[in-house]
Amino acid sequence: MKGTEDLGSDNKAIFQLESGFDINSGGQQFTNAMFGRHQAWVG
């Protein structure tokens, strides 16, 4: 999931959330976390 949010004054929050699954079982790749890889910026 990727997105941006306008914070006003020419600032934006930018984020990227990634999840994965185990190809053998179909279960979540990351235990105790819906999104195991994430990044966020403000600028």
Give the residue extent of every domain in the chain: 2-42
In the chain, what is the straight-line distance between the N-terminal and C-terminal CA atoms, in Å?
19
What is the per-residue pLDDT for 8? 93
- Mean pLDDT over residues 10-19, rounded? 85
Model confidence, pTM: 0.52
- Using the CB atoms, write b or e for 7-35: b if 16+ within 10 Å: eeeeeeeeeeeeeeeeeeeeeeeeeeeee
What count of residues does the chain have? Answer: 43
Answer whether residue 12 shows pLDDT above 80. Answer: yes
What mean pLDDT value characterizes the chain?
77
Confidence of residue 33 (pLDDT cuts 50, 70, 90): low
- Mean pLDDT over residues 21-34, rounded? 70
